[in-house]
Amino acid sequence: MRKVFLSSMLLNELKPEDPTYYTSDDFELSENRYDFPMTYLIDDKVKANDEIVIITAIQQDSGNNVNNATVNYKKYKAEVEKILQERNVNFKFEEIMLTENFDSLTFNKFFKQVAVLINDNDQLFVDVTFGMKPYCISLFVAVAYAEKAARNVDVDTVIYAQKYSGFSRAKTAEEKAKDPSKSRIYDITGLFYLNAIAGNAKPGQKHKLDKALDLLINDWWG
């Protein structure tokens, strides 16, 4: 069984003088500080002798201009490689290059690119934090397709991180150090499986399924 980690790369510039600190009520995060939410998941889920695949969608450079996504991916790859090498695992990185110029079919093609990289018996971990919204939707749909169409694919965890709170942007460097930007990592795996329920629903079942949802989501009304 492979453990497969899928995400899109951050498009904005990472600023060392104003780092983001990740927190979570849903996960017990490593005391190590990472620049990317997926790295926390990798640190938690990867065990010795695992077979690991890291799949990342990255915005292509434009001409001779190196964009933020390329720079960020190098940082992400470095912090992930350090963990994987320490755990003594077999691993490989797969990159899906995204174009700046797209049409209505671009996101369908991305769906296919993701889907073909998922194999039978894979265990999937997904981060939908970064990237353009249509790419995030395409990633989500591709994972749903693979979970249903392949054999024994398990969607273990889906996360989303609120990237910046914005509290420290107007502060001095000293103030930023004392009160850094914080980002909360959410476990949205339940949303994936609610989507599966929706996909399996048949006409005329809504009233019955609404009652089932009341039981599944016991705090639906807050």
pLDDT at 175: 62
pLDDT at 222: 47
Compute the distance between CA of residue 18 and CA of residue 72 in angstroms, rounded to an integer.
15
List the chain residues with pLDDT less than 50. Answer: 165-167, 220-222
Residue 52 lies in a domain: yes
Residue 221 lies in a domain: no
pLDDT tens, residue by residue, 81-97:
999 999 999 999 999 99
Residue 35 lies in a domain: yes
Is 144 exposed, middle or buried, given 0-12, 13-18 or 19+ CB atoms closer than 10 A?
A: middle
- The pTM of this model reads 0.89
- Phi (first) and psi of residue 209, to 5 degrees: -70, -35
pLDDT tens, residue by residue, 28-68:
999 999 999 999 999 999 999 999 999 999 988 766 677 88
Give Cα separations from 131 to 11, 138, 139, 143 (angstroms). Answer: 7, 11, 10, 16
Residue 156 lies in a domain: yes
pLDDT at 172: 63
Domain count, the chain: 1
Residue 141 lies in a domain: yes
Residue 196 lies in a domain: no
Compute the distance between CA of residue 58 and CA of residue 95 in angstroms, rounded to an integer.
7
Which residue range(s) make up the domain with 109? Answer: 2-187
- Phi (first) and psi of residue 45, to 5 degrees: -95, -20
Residue 205 lies in a domain: no
Q: 151: domain CATH number?
A: 3.40.50.11700
Residue 195 lies in a domain: no
pLDDT at 16: 80
